Amino acid sequence: MLNMGGPATVPETHDFLKNLFSDGDLIPLPFQRFLAPIIARRRTPSIEKQYTDIGGGSPILRYTKFQGEGMAKLLDELHPETAPHKAYVAFRYVRPLTEQTAREMKADGVKRAIAFTQYPQYSCSTTGSSLNELFRRGTAGDVGEDVQWSVIDRWGTHPGFIEAVAQNIEIALSKFPTSTRKDTVLLFSAHSLPMSVVNRGDPYILEVSASVSAVMDRLGHSNPFRLVWQSQVGPSAWMGMQTGEALKGLARLGKKQVVLVPIAFTSDHIETLYELDLEYAAEARELGIEVHRAESLNESPVFVRALADIAVQHLRDCKSGKGPVSTQFGLRCPGCTNATCAKQKEWFARGGR
Ligand SMILES: C=CC1=C(C)c2cc3[nH]c(cc4nc(cc5[nH]c(cc1n2)c(C)c5CCC(=O)O)C(CCC(=O)O)=C4C)c(C)c3C=C
Ligand SMILES: [Fe+2]
Ligand SMILES: [Fe+2]
């Protein structure tokens, strides 16, 4: 289960940021090895405060373990041919790091593995970065040379995922009076992307939009909705409209009720618990808007079942000869010039050999 991870405790914030700013797939910096520790050190106090304010750390490891254990148990029932199943967590910036997990898998004698991204929608900067790291570890022999790999690289319109999000929206909507419920705006909010990444053909914006569209279809277009973008960092141009600006605009339009919907991450983190729940909710209240947030997928049984279904479908596709990767996987961003991306895709397409 590939993801970025987050600091489980406040003192781990610095190392998280240092690893994050050292990742050239996420943030290409000149003199990266030199600049990354400097930027990380400068940003640590403000981000530490945010993790303190949300209860002392990121819950992502706890939720990912919960989801993974639930998925593995379901897989034993749904796909006994490949039982027993075990979920390993491989984070990019905090423990358990890809490197540590790779060694653990080797020690366990794993012979068949699925690199299962936990980002629903594909971006070169997120899933791409995790696959590049796994490729480096795999080719360095950290996982074991004889492991057969396949890849689940995106699943943003899977009906089970869409159902889980839709159910959480319905719960949030039910907190508004029946008489005004249908006027409530569903404001889908996803982590933004620098325009430089969008403009090289990264599919993330398109895939997040497709998720939103599928959720609205499932809800029968019961409410007005918009997709907006949050958490941009630094002075460069990022994908907009920004979530905070959208709330101001909705207030100007006389809207009084909003459901905020996180759509690009599977568990709570500072974007939901700090930015949405503390910052934007307070801003909205000042603007005279009542806000409820759709809960993150966290411990949703519908979502755990969706993960298992995605894996079963993938195992069947592998067996029926559709190959170890999706058809989308082979198509790199037209503007991607990252040499590791190219090598990684070839390596996984051969089953990681
Ligand atoms: C699908 C989710 C995410 C995408 C896409 C994404 C792209 C992206 N992010 C940065 C820069 C930073 N991201 C930071 C933290 C962070 N990012 C995501 C998710 C996505 N990022 C998460 C879940 C987190 C963890 C923080 C949290 O919310 O718990 C940070 C560090 C925090 C900070 O310093 O503000 C940076 C920096 C870029 C440049 C980028 C696309 C290229
Ligand atoms: Fe790439
Ligand atoms: Fe980010």
From the list 116, 205, 182, the residue with the least C-alpha distance to 152 is 116
Could you tell me if the CB of 19 is within 6 A of ligand 1? no
- Please list, in sequence order, all residues whose beta carbon lies within 8 angstroms of the beta carbon of residue 303, skipping any fewer than 6 positions away: 67, 160, 161, 164, 266, 297
Distance 249 CA to ligand 1 centre (A): 25
328-348 confidence digits (pLDDT tens) = 998 889 999 999 999 999 999
Q: What is the pLDDT of residue 146?
A: 86
Give the number of the ligand closest to the Cα of residue 123: 1
309 counts as catalytic: yes
Residue 230 pLDDT > 90, yes or no?
A: yes
Residue 80 pLDDT > 90, yes or no?
A: yes
Round the average pLDDT of the chain to a whole number and report it. 96
Q: What is the pLDDT of residue 353?
A: 87
From the list 182, 175, 207, the residue with the least C-alpha distance to 293 is 175
Neighbours of 97 (CB within 10 A): 18
196-226 confidence digits (pLDDT tens) = 999 999 999 999 999 999 999 999 999 999 9
Neighbours of 103 (CB within 10 A): 15
Q: What is the pLDDT of residue 323?
A: 85
Q: What is the pLDDT of residue 48?
A: 98
Q: What is the mean pLDDT of residues 70-79?
A: 98
Q: What is the pLDDT of residue 330?
A: 86
* Given 158, 191, 269, 292, the catalytic residue: 158
Beta carbons of 255 and 299 less than 8 angstroms apart = no
93-150 confidence digits (pLDDT tens) = 999 999 999 999 999 999 999 999 999 999 999 999 999 999 999 999 899 888 999 9
Distance 306 CA to ligand 2 centre (A): 27
The number of CA neighbours under 13 Å toward the Cβ of 64 is: 24
How far is it, in rounded angstroms, from Cα 153 to Cα 163? 20
Distance 191 CA to ligand 1 centre (A): 7
167-206 confidence digits (pLDDT tens) = 999 999 999 999 999 999 999 999 999 999 999 999 999 9
Q: What is the pLDDT of residue 321?
A: 85
Which residues is 229 bridged to in the sheet?
190, 242
Distance 11 CA to ligand 2 centre (A): 32
Could you tell me if the CB of 197 is within 6 A of ligand 1? yes
Protein residue closest via CA to atom 4 of ligand 1: 191
Residue 306 pLDDT > 90, yes or no?
A: yes
Could you tell me if the CB of 194 is within 6 A of ligand 1? yes
How far is it, in rounded angstroms, from Cα 160 to Cα 149? 24
DSSP 259-275: EEEE-S-SS--HIIIII
- What dotted CATH number matches 159-293? 3.40.50.1400
DSSP 55-124: TSS--HHHHHHHHHHHHHHHHHHH-GGG-S-----EESSSSSBHHHHHHHHHHHT--EEEEEBS-SS--T
Q: What is the mean pLDDT of residues 248-271?
A: 96
- Domain positions in the chain are 159-293
Residue 322 pLDDT > 90, yes or no?
A: no
Structure tokens at 130: 């995790």
158 counts as catalytic: yes
Could you tell me if the CB of 26 is within 6 A of ligand 1? yes
Please give the model's pTM, rounded to 2 decimal places: 0.97
* Confidence at 62, pLDDT banded by 50, 70, 90: very high
Protein residue closest via CA to atom 41 of ligand 1: 193
Residue 258 pLDDT > 90, yes or no?
A: yes
Could you tell me if the CB of 294 is within 6 A of ligand 1? no
* Confidence at 39, pLDDT banded by 50, 70, 90: very high
How far is it, in rounded angstroms, from Cα 206 to Cα 202? 9
How far is it, in rounded angstroms, from Cα 268 to Cα 60? 7
Residue 70 pLDDT > 90, yes or no?
A: yes
How far is it, in rounded angstroms, from Cα 117 to Cα 90? 10
Strand order in the sheet with 257-262: 225-230, 185-191, 257-262, 290-293
Instruction: Reduce the DSSP state of residue 316 to 3 states and report it.
Output: helix
